[in-house]
């Protein structure tokens, strides 16, 4: 199942805030990394662009579990690249990266909440089944 539910009320507002914070961090980090290193490799450019797109997706609340998973994977990739790079500019310290991965995993597991595009697209629907009419016995008797 793609989504477990779309809680509203206080829980829905909490998920909205969590999603918004994660999306903002992903967009800001991706944009800062792109701006800080304009002659980055194609691999780095694609990864940071994906971070921006996933962050925007989180802010809107569309395909939230996929966007959260992508943000978590890209954050782990960034974490592994910290040890390979001597430049510490524009890259968050490791404890913050652990926190971002934890928040991304939480959003991916819990889902987007009621205040999202996902809730409108994939939310619960009311299906109205018309009552079953008893067979018309008058037609049966005349058909024989």
CA distance 26 to 32: 10
pTM as predicted? 0.72
Report the alpha-carbon angle 122-101-56, nearest 5: 50
Query: Could you read off the pLDDT tens digit of each residue along the chain, which spans 144 residues?
Result: 455 667 778 888 888 899 999 999 999 988 888 888 777 788 888 888 899 999 999 999 899 889 999 999 988 887 766 555 545 555 556 778 888 899 999 888 888 888 888 878 887 667 788 888 877 776 655 555
């Amino acid at each position: 199942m793609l989504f477990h539910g779309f809680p509203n009320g206080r829980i829905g507002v909490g998920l909205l805030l969590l999603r918004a914070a994660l999306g903002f961090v992903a967009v800001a980090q991706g944009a800062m990394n792109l701006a800080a290193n304009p002659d980055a490799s194609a691999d780095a450019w694609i990864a940071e662009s994906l971070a921006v797109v996933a962050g925007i997706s989180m802010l809107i609340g569309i395909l939230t579990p996929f966007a959260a998973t992508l943000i978590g994977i890209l954050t782990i990739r960034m974490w592994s690249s910290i040890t390979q790079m001597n430049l510490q500019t524009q890259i968050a310290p490791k404890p913050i990266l652990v926190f971002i991965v934890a928040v991304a995993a939480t959003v991916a597991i819990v889902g987007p909440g009621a205040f999202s595009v996902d809730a409108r697209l994939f939310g619960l629907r009311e299906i109205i089944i018309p009552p079953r009419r008893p067979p018309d016995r008058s037609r049966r008797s005349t058909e024989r």
